[in-house]
Structure 1
């Protein structure tokens, strides 16, 4: 089997790239970037991988804190995914956020790395309370595509595909992907990079959820979500705190990728909607 030709993969980003919502079985986050590295390593057996992502980071913080360490690792593959934390802030400037992303695209491609990124889903379909800021995601995605074209960056364009807003792919907080969601992101990026063994099966809808969902049950689910996740998140914002305060990258050095068993395909037993 042909390999991808990658020897050093470095991931930059925030909580999604760190892997929140996807426990590795030991209490630590795994996540889509780890999964992507594992897939690449099945053919590029000597792959070294570093993950510099830290939860809570804004795009500008990813640039200021992670870009130079990433360049120092001399990657031939890098992924850059950031901006959701910016979208959720009261003050949001799509051009400013895209500017930070483009600066990272330019620096990494200029160093000789192949760079990949992705677009974000319509969060209003995941979190109805997010409808007032839905236009922000659309604006940022448009700028990500434009910046990527200018620098030859590969884009896993998730936004157009309805499956990415299926709640079964999201953890109960609806801000982070579930294990299946992280697997889907990894599959999307792998396909965009033409990693051996990848294909477009990730865009297919999940098996139908045949359980009935009454309006009362939906309202109850939304209220529980607001109390369990939205309230604490808002409280941190008011106090000027972040979930990433005091945290460092989980994998700051290039290390060999451990081989893991592939996850089984999503089947009826896994097709439960998160509540």
Structure 2
């Protein structure tokens, strides 16, 4: 039997990633990966497996999912895998809705995270990004701050690892983001993978992302760029919300079962 024919698992260590587009990897375009994207979680998993071949990995995250959907559709599946490591981030899509009860949502989020902790898994949470310099999302900055206070309290009470996205000011540089200005790009996902590995205390052999210098744009060029961005990215985003659709409708998780084969 060749190495390629060997059984994939069982695994002594099991990393399961839960969430929405942030964890699915949207923006880190890679046609060779499931759902055509790679992302920080895949990069972290690849490094963990390189460090220790006993790791298995599952990524249940799907773009567009709100907190309730993430918990309803992913939590029990994750627990059934008996994970030793879980990353979870959800709430960004709730914050963007016209009306949202953040306190109520976060009470449910706390309950779910406690179930993960009680299972014996090491859990990593994330604060939300500081959108102060993001024109489309600037108005939601206050909501994100409230969300973050809940996350910090949960992490402190349950002794959970925290990746503090809010205070990673390097991400205010738009070169870390995809052209849609809503999701991290390849450089951003790479930088986030390195941040997660640092929190985990794991060896990190991922190369620093290369950030190209951008030529200055004239006022006319900026205007044309913003109009194009609005037509290609903002309008479809708004239309989906008005019609009750999600970018993740009819999509499946990238890695629904534990595997070490993620390349």
TM-score range for the pair, normalised by the shorter chain length: 0.7 to 0.9
Q: Pick from 61, 69, 79: which aligns with 1:61?
A: 69
Structure 2 partner of 1:227: 231
Match among 6, 16, 19 for residue 13 of structure 1: 19
Mapped pair 1:87 → 2:95: yes
For 1:39 and 1:250, locate their aligned partners in 2 and report how far apart those are by CA, in whole Å: 18
Contact 1:6 1:44 in 2 (8 A): no
Q: Indicate how the Cα distance of structure 1 residues 160 and 104 shifts in structure 2: closer, same or farther if over 3 A, else same.
A: same
1:33 is aligned, of 13, 35, 41, to 41
Partners of 2:213 and 2:12 in 1: how far apart? 39
Report the TM-score, using the length of structure 1 for normalisation: 0.84
Structure 2 residue matching 1:141: 3-state secondary structure: helix
Matches of 1:226 and 1:6, distance apart in 2: 47
Distance 1:189 1:217 in 2: 37
The aligned counterpart of 2:183 is: 176
Q: RMSD of the TM alignment (CA)?
A: 2.3
Question: How many residues align structurally?
Answer: 251
Q: Does 1:216 align with 2:215?
A: no
Among 103, 106, 113, the alignment partner of 1:98 is 106
Deviations 1:4-29 (A, max 9, x none): x9710000001111111112342621
The structural deviation recorded for 1:137 is 1.5
Relative distance call for 1:121 and 1:73 in structure 2 (3 A) is same
Q: Secondary structure at the match of 1:60?
A: helix
Q: Distance in 1 between matches of 2:211 and 2:240?
A: 37
Gaps (5+ residues) in structure 2? 1-10
TM-score after normalising by structure 2:
0.88
* Residue number in structure 2 paired with 1:163: 170
The alpha carbon displacement at 1:65 in A equals 0.8
1:63-120 deviation digits (Å, cap 9, x = unpaired): 1110000000000000001111111111122213322332221011100000002122
Tell me the equivalent position of 1:46: 54
The answer (yes or no) to whether the contact 1:32–1:186 under 8 Å persists in 2 is yes
Match of 1:196 among 176, 185, 203: 203
Gaps of 5+ in 1: 261-275
Counterpart check, 1:151 vs 2:163: no
- Does structure 2 retain, via aligned residues, the 8 Å contact 1:49–1:256? yes
